[in-house]
Amino acid sequence: MRKILVPTDFSDNAFNALKYACQVFKYEKSEIFIMHAYADEVYQQDKLTRRSQLDLVKEKISQSSEIQLKKILEEIKHHYPNPQHNYKIVSSFGSLIDEVDDLVNQENMDIVVMSTRGETNDRSLTFGSNTLQVLKYISCPVLAVPEGSKYQAPKEVLFPTNYLVPYKRRELKLICDMSGSFRSTLHMLYINPIKKLSLRQEDNQQFLKDCLPKAKLRFETTQENDKTIAITKYIVHNDIDMLVLVNSRHSYLEDMLSQSTIDKIGLHIKIPFLVMQNLFR
């Protein structure tokens, strides 16, 4: 059974990410956890000077969180009834990053699905601060869904790779299963002015072929020096539905997740962004 965690701040963006999760995994038996972490809401209250006040505010926000989670649960079941999907709601007093990390480890989650921005994040930025933190530090795949994006089956998936990162079989299986469900084409994009692969890169390329038997693989090379520009151009010219990157040292993601780089270049991603984690788990 696929285990999916969807954090929410009760914004339209967060609900859109939940809808995307229900649609992209509609063919799979899944357990979907809808979680709200509310510590920031408690501590941001003005005029909190005594412990008794803090406890009262905490209880009030906790009750409100439960009510809103139940409302979301009813709404998502109404719009996307699916006998293969079971839901759980989780209301937690803690920071988003800590609560997501704890639940990922406790439940051995397969993927976290969230919006690129929440209700209060700066609209001039591609990724909100919470999303960036989760993308960088949570030790399971994270699928970030752009604000206001409409669901599009991931038929064309871009997977930039330098063939140097030691990929995890479990996370490649996630992509393989998704590709099988939608009969997707995976565009494996090698960004390097020098086309020839080393023996190590050839072996890693073969490993990808072996782990992705359900996908139609398309191997491409570009001599564009700037990785961010190369990825942006490929997305536009090939009608890409989803972007896949890997989080590890010296990977393409390390360049992409520099907030200043993203916004300076103008890569305001309008398609879902799947980050595979090569972190210890």
pLDDT digits (tens, 9 = 90+) for 189-221: 998 877 788 899 999 999 999 999 998 999 999
Is it true that 2-145 and 156-266 share their CATH fold?
Answer: yes
Q: Which two tokens stand for residue 208?
A: 């990808």
Q: Where do the structural domains in the chain lie, given as residue ranges?
A: 2-145, 156-266
Report pLDDT for 260.
Answer: 46
Report pLDDT for 110.
Answer: 94
Residues in the chain, overall count = 281
More confident call, 18 vs 250 = 18
Q: Which two tokens stand for residue 32?
A: 């979907």
pLDDT digits (tens, 9 = 90+) for 128-161: 678 878 887 888 999 999 887 889 999 999 999 8
Report pLDDT for 122.
Answer: 56
Report pLDDT for 154.
Answer: 95
* CATH 3.40.50.620 at 156-266, yes or no: yes
**Domain with residues 2-145, CATH architecture:** 3-Layer(aba) Sandwich (3.40)
Q: Which two tokens stand for residue 158?
A: 């871009």
